[in-house]
Structures are given as structure tokens and as C-alpha cells.
Amino acid sequence: MNRKKATYQHWVSESLPLSLTQQIERLRNLNDVKHVRIMPDAHLAHDVCIGSVLASDSLIYPRAIGGDIGCGMLAAEFTCAADAIGTREAKAILTLLRHRVPIIKQPKENICSEAFQQIECSLSHRALSALADKAGRIQLGTLGRGNHFLELQKDACSGALWVMIHTGSRAMGPAIRDHYETLSSNTSGGLHYLQATSPIGQHYLQDHNWARSYAAMNRRVILQQIENIIFQVLGVKPVNALGIDCDHNHLQQETHDNEVLWVHRKGASAVHKNCLAIIPGSMGTPSFHVIGKGNQQSLCSSSHGAGRCMSRHEAKKRVSFHRLQNEMEGIFYEKKQSRQLVEESPSAYKDISKVMKAQKKLVTIKRKLLPILSYKG
């Protein structure tokens, strides 16, 4: 097993806190990990920091992908100006979203069985299949809590209306991670690992790919619902049914500088040359559509968002609901949820303009989008 310390580069513009530096050092010393890259939105998380990229020769570290396997972003443009949404339209849209895009689970009459059957590949273990048939089925088309969101946005240049959706594999991703950590007896630096070519490693890859497909389907089901809502309220349809879709919690076998590597991304987008990706800001700040530059130094990766500068606990203590309301001035959202949304306030996140500046060698900005309506759990 390769015990040589992994190479390391980061694109964080501010000084790294000691706790994050220590976590990164632990990642660099993991068995078989050859490269560690840290994106400008990096922040501390349990075991493996958000905004990290690990590349190994033959070992898979489920924690370096995270529980929300396949979590990502979907964006689509509509055939109208964003200014078509005023107070009356926003109120109608938010009301319809509460009914058609639930946060936790679908009511029985809205379960998306047909879409569920279209998910590519199958799960490898009976227990996971049983969970998918229960929790996976009733959560398809739901947003989830935390930093997941649906946002209506204005193209800063053209004024066009866009939607951006951020969600993932809901209960299934964590269940798959936990299932394989239970099966693995091998650890390095406190993290369980699997041999990619072993039967258990191959089963993990199969179930990981299922979770990515599920997460992508989840975003498409939600997109269909917001398309129906926008048509009902504004009478317009999307410009392109495909939109932009990318995920930021995944494992892929890639070639970098003639090395075939298992690239783990946890809160990091793949930005291969000319690849489109989405980098959201915080609730209430601009987001960006970008084109990858294929930078090999970053293993063709970029940030997946702005990144937290306060933990949720810290934000609840430091950000008042009055401060949140001031930061969200001019943006439609559920004001009755202000006290619950303080942990997601813009001030709890890094300055997205500084994050984008820090990764100008990784991506080219194609489009800047301004928030006009935010729907969160």
C-alpha cells in the first residue's frame, strides 16, 4: 500500500483555520491517496471537509464522497423576463411549491412511481432495495432540508428568468454509505475504505451509481413541477428541456497527467474542459453558470458553492431574524420561516465574489444570476 504523503494544493483565499488544516493533513496521510485538492468554498465537516477532492489509485473512501451521493444542481431558462414575477405571482408560486415540491416526503397521491422505475441500474443488496422501494419512492421529487433549495433567478445580462434546483439522493445516499461502512473492516486515518476491484467495492460502485441516478431524477421531477407552476402562473414554458445538470458529491475514475485515478469529490464540481457547471451563492446572493477550464492542477474541479463561514450552530447564535430579513430585502421567500432560516442566511456563507475570484484559473463565468425568489426547507 502506498504510504507516501499525498500531494496538496488549495484555492482558498483566506487563511485556513487550524481545525481544517489538521483535517486536510489527515486526508493527505490516508492509505493510497495520491492527491488532495481543496476548493475555495472549503469548510470543516465530520471526517472529510466540504470542498475537498481526493484521488486514489485503487481504494474507495465512502466518507470522501459523503452521505448525499449525487447531490447537485439543475438549472433551466424560461421564455420570459424575470421581472414578470411580482408580489402576486411570487405568492402564488410559493403556495404551489409547498404543495407540489414537498420538503420531506410525497403525499400518497403524488408518489412518482413512473419516474422511480426509470432510474438507471439497480441496487446490489436486498435491504437497500427494500429501503428504496419505501423511503426512496416517497421522497422522489422532494427537496430536503439544510442547504437544499429551489431558486428563481434573473440573468444579470439578459434579464431572463431561470430556475436553479439544489438537492440530492435524500435518505438513500446516507443509507448506502452506512451500509458499506458496516461491511468494511479496513480503515485508514479513522476512515473506512474499500478495494475498488473487490466484490464489495464493485457493489459500492453499483449502488453509488444508482444514488447518482436517483438524485438526478429527483432534480428532474422537481423541475417538471416548477415548469408546471410557472406555466400555470405566468403562461410560459422553458427554453430548453435539458437545462444544465451537474452533481458535486461523487466518485469517478478519471485520467490526470497519465494517471488513472479514483477521484472523490465531496462538495466540489467536476469542471473538465468546456464542461458546464453551476456554482450557487448563498440564499440572497448571486449564483453563476461556469465553463470548466480543465485545470489539471485542481484535478478538473471547482467549488460547488460559496461555502459556509459560520457553522449552523454559530449562525443561530449570531444571526437574528431581523438581520436575515435585511439581507433578503427585495427577494421573495417564506417570511414566516425567518427564525428557522437564520442558519442559511447570506452572512453565514463566504463572499461568493471572493470565491469566484479565487478560482478564476479553474472556471470561466458564462452567466451571472441574481436571486428573486427562494424556496427552502
DSSP 311-355: -HHHHHHH--HHHHHHHTTT-B--GGGHHHHGGG-GGGB--HHHH
d(CA 148, CA 71): 9
* Catalytic member of 10, 203, 248, 304: 304
d(CA 205, CA 208): 5
**Could you give phi then psi for residue 27, rounded to 5 degrees?**
-65, -35
How many CB atoms neighbour CB 109 within 10 A? 5
Joined together, the cell numbers standing for residue 143 give 427537496
33-43 and 7-10 beta bridge pairing: parallel
Active site residue 304: yes
Hey, CA dihedral for 120, 125, 130, 134, is it positive or negative?
negative
Instruction: Let me know the angle formed at the C-alpha of 106 by 105 and 111, rounded to the nearest 5 degrees.
Output: 135
Joined together, the cell numbers standing for residue 160 give 431572463
Residue positions annotated with a catalytic role: 304
